[in-house]
Structure 1
Amino acid sequence: MLDDFMIRAALAGIGTALAAAPLGCFVVWRRMAYFGDATAHAAILGVALALALDIPVFGGVLVTALVMGLAVTTLSGRGFATDTLLGVLAHSALAIGLVAVSFLSGVRVDLMGYLFGDILAVNATDLAIIWSGAAIILALVTLRWSALLTSTLSPDLASASGIDSRREQMILTIALALTIAIAIKVVGALLISALLLIPAATARSVARTPESMALLAALLGSLATLGGLGLSYGADTPTGPSIVCIATFFFLTSLLLRRQETG
């Protein structure tokens, strides 16, 4: 069954959506959209380093995303304006990565695939990495859900309860880096933040509890993946952007439904 490239693509997209959904909720709650952008843009630098050092791309992207996330977490508390810091690091990492790729001689680099994803080229090894990473992320978020949620919604209550908010931020950073590493094959570095943010933002419009928001975001992300694959197959459109377009359609639909309810 896994010899069928569309089935592999669907499984890869669903695995990525399941991993991204709960983290996307925290991105929305903490207003960390630019943080996700900065970490995702660093993925291209990770690709260049991995190819230059002849190591797996997944490892290079994971390490670079972790370094970027930890750098932002550390520097943002030392007098740097967070939005400025994120802008500088995001664009610098992307530019350095693109320039570094151009210096790789004798190495064939599918730059468009890394920027916008190449889900149709996913193989069995990629699937194993995606689903293993998704399982780790879901287990980590499940174990730390209460602490992460408390430190997100009420830092004062978290402090009173003995929860270290910086530790929870670090855990979230590690989980985001892992998600970006597994998602780069599916939607690419430039669209990873969209897959994190849009399903969660859509779910927020209709969910009543944090848990239902995470579950609904996972469902919407999976449906966007399947819808994007269908659109790409039927209309011969790029798959990664098609997935994001379907997710955006869900978001706009949720806004219209919400306006009708309040109107």
Structure 2
Amino acid sequence: MLDDFMTRATLAGIGVALAAAPLGCFVVWRRMAYFGDATAHAAMLGVALALALEISIFAGAIAVALVMATTVTILSGRGYAMDTLLGVLAHASLAFGMVAVSFLSGVRIDLMAYLFGDILAVSRNDLLIIWGGAAVVVALIGWRWSSLLTSTLNEELAYASGLNPRREQLILTLCLAITVAVAIKVVGVLLIAALLIIPAAASRSLARTPESMAVFAAGIGAISAVAGLRAAYVFDTPAGPSIVCVAAFLFAALALVNVGRRAIR
């Protein structure tokens, strides 16, 4: 079954959707959209370093994404505004990554594949990495769900409950770095944030509890992956952007339904 490239692509898309769904909910709740985007941009430097050192792309991307996200978490509130730090580190990392790639001699690099994804070229090893990363992210968030939710709702309540909001932030940072690393092959560094945010935002109008929002986000993400791949096959369009377009269409449709429902009431 895995010999078929469309089957591998579909499984890869669903795996990334499962990892991004619960994490995307926290990104939306904490208003960390720019944080996710910046972490994804930083991963491009990790790709360049991995190619230069001849190590796994996944290892390079997760290392740099984790360093960038941790640096922002530590420096925020110490004389620098969060959006300023994110802007500097995100664009600097992307620029340094692109420049570093240009210095690599004897290595053929498809920059478009790293920027916008190349899900149709996913191999069996890539599938293992994607689903392994997704399992780690889901396990971490499931383990810390109550603590993460309490820290997200109210930091003072978290302190009163004996929790450390900064530790929970670091756990989210780790999950974000892993998700970015496994999603590069699917949607590329420029569209990872979209796959994090759009399904979670779309699920808001359907959910009644935080847990149901994560489940609906996973469903919307998986549907977007499958339908986007089908649309790319039928209309001969780029697969990664097609997946994001389907997610955006679902978001718009659910938003219109929600507006209509409120108008009727």
Query: Superposed, which structure 2 residues align to 1:106-255 within 5 Å?
Result: 106-255=106-255
Letter in 2 for 1:93: S
Shift of 1:206: 2.0
4+ runs deviating over 4 angstroms: none
Letter in 2 for 1:260: G
Whole-angstrom CA distance in 2 between matches of 1:122 and 1:148: 32
Whether 2:102 is the aligned partner of 1:102: answer yes
Whole-angstrom CA distance in 1 between matches of 2:145 and 2:230: 34
Residue number in structure 2 paired with 1:17: 17
Letter in 1 for 2:14: I
Letter in 2 for 1:231: A
Q: Deviations over 1:33-59 (max 9, x none)?
A: 000011000111001000011111110
Q: What TM-score comes out, normalization by structure 2 length? A: 0.98
Partner secondary structure for residue 144 of structure 2: helix
Whole-angstrom CA distance in 2 between matches of 1:66 and 1:86: 13
Shift of 1:156: 1.2
Is there any run of 5+ residues in structure 1 with no aligned partner, and where? none
Instruction: Pick which of 69-78 and 1-10 moved more.
Output: 69-78
Identity %: 68
Whole-angstrom CA distance in 1 between matches of 2:65 and 2:247: 24
Whole-angstrom CA distance in 2 between matches of 1:79 and 1:206: 40
Shift of 1:79: 1.8
Q: Deviations over 1:76-99 (max 9, x none)?
A: 121211111111111111111011
Letter in 2 for 1:219: G
Whether 2:45 is the aligned partner of 1:45: answer yes
Shift of 1:204: 1.1
Letter in 1 for 2:223: L
Whole-angstrom CA distance in 1 between matches of 2:225 and 2:146: 29
Aligned residues: 263
Q: Deviations over 1:155-186 (max 9, x none)?
A: 11111000000000000000000000000000
Whole-angstrom CA distance in 2 between matches of 1:105 and 1:3: 32
Letter in 2 for 1:26: F
RMSD: 0.6
Letter in 2 for 1:202: A
Q: What TM-score comes out, normalization by structure 1 length? A: 0.99
Letter in 2 for 1:135: A
Whole-angstrom CA distance in 1 between matches of 2:83 and 2:64: 20
Whole-angstrom CA distance in 1 between matches of 2:189 and 2:56: 16
Shift of 1:114: 0.3
Whole-angstrom CA distance in 2 between matches of 1:218 and 1:40: 20
Partner secondary structure for residue 187 of structure 2: coil
Is there any run of 5+ residues in structure 2 with no aligned partner, and where? none
Letter in 1 for 2:135: A
Partner secondary structure for residue 186 of structure 2: coil
